[in-house]
């Protein structure tokens, strides 16, 4: 297996030193948070590299830290059938793998991780689909004034829809519990 790792740290995660004590205190705290996220990414990448080796699946691992969260992407140069199996139907295997990776980080650091795992751009593609769902629901609410209940989705996906609905000037709330948790879009 040829797993290659690339790391990115965006400048928004860095703190400028302005010379005053408050800035120095913030600068002293921020690198530790950035270092924690980088360590989280390294642990997650090691875990995922080992998993890919065991499954004999080729993929490159990219680590990016942005907005206070670690993003791990696994991509292949071609449409690797093995990577697609790690996404599963409706991203179910990807969600489980993300949770296992978070547990591996928790085990190593004793700190809960909020890392996001993506495989072959599935989450980016899904985000576009979720935004379309939000737009369609908003159009329906504006047209007939009745609330629209969406299909159940993960917390990560609900966050994307909530943001999209808010951008469209409507209100959304999560309802239900567990696997049945879903969003209801309304005008107020």
DSSP-assigned letters across all residues of 125-163: HHHHHHHHHHHHHHHHHHHH---EEPPP--HHHHHHHHH
For residues 4 and 45, give the distance between their C-alpha atoms in angstroms, rounded to a whole number. Answer: 10
| Contact by Cβ (8 Å): 8, 65 | yes
- Same-domain check for residues 151 and 130: yes
Residues 104 and 152 in one domain: no
Contacts of 116 (CB under 8 A, 6+ apart): 69, 70, 71, 72, 98, 123, 156
Residues 116 and 133 in one domain: no
Q: The domain spanning residue 21 has which CATH number?
A: 3.30.300.20
Give the domain extent around 144. 125-186
Q: In whole angstroms, what is the distance from residue 147 CA to residue 185 CA?
A: 5
pLDDT of residue 5: 54
- Number of structural domains (the chain) is 2
> What was the pLDDT predicted at 2?
45
**Model pTM above 0.85:** no
Quote the pLDDT of residue 11: 35
> Chain-centre distance of CA 89, in angstroms?
18
What is residue 14's DSSP assignment? S
Per-residue model confidence as pLDDT tens digits over 119-160: 999 998 999 999 999 999 999 999 999 999 999 998 889 999
Q: And the tokens for 125?
A: 């593609």
- Only one residue has tokens 């504006």, namely 142
Which tokens is 50 given?
């080992």
- Whole-number Å distance between alpha carbons of 179 and 145: 27
Same domain, 116 and 103: yes
Using alpha carbons only, give the angle 91, 5, 2 rounded to the nearest 5 degrees: 85
**Same domain? 151 vs 99:** no
Cα separations in angstroms, 140 against 24, 129, 151, 156, 170 = 51, 17, 15, 23, 11
| 21 plus 90 within the same structural domain | yes
Q: Read off the tokens for 99.
A: 């949770």
Residue ranges of the chain with pLDDT lower than 50?
1-2, 7-30
Together in a domain, 101 and 9: yes
**Contacting residues for 100 by C-beta, under 8 A, at least 6 apart:** 47
């Amino acid at each position: 297996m040829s797993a290659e790792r690339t790391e990115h740290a965006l400048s928004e995660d860095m703190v400028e030193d302005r010379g005053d004590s408050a800035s120095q205190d913030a600068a002293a705290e921020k690198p530790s948070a950035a270092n924690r996220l980088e360590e989280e990414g390294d642990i997650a990448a090691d875990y995922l590299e080992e998993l890919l080796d065991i499954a004999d699946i080729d993929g490159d691992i990219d680590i990016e830290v942005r907005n206070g969260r670690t993003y791990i992407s696994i991509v292949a140069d071609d449409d690797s059938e093995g990577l697609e199996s790690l996404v599963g139907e409706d991203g179910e295997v990807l969600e489980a793998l993300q949770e296992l990776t978070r547990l591996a980080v928790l085990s190593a650091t004793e700190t809960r991780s909020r890392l996001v795992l993506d495989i072959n751009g599935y989450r980016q593609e899904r985000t576009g689909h979720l935004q379309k769902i939000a737009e369609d629901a908003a159009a329906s609410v504006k047209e007939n004034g009745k609330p629209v209940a969406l299909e159940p989705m993960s917390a990560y996906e609900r966050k994307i829809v909530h943001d999209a609905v808010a951008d469209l000037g409507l209100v959304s709330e999560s309802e239900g519990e567990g696997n049945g948790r879903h969003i209801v879009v309304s005008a107020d």
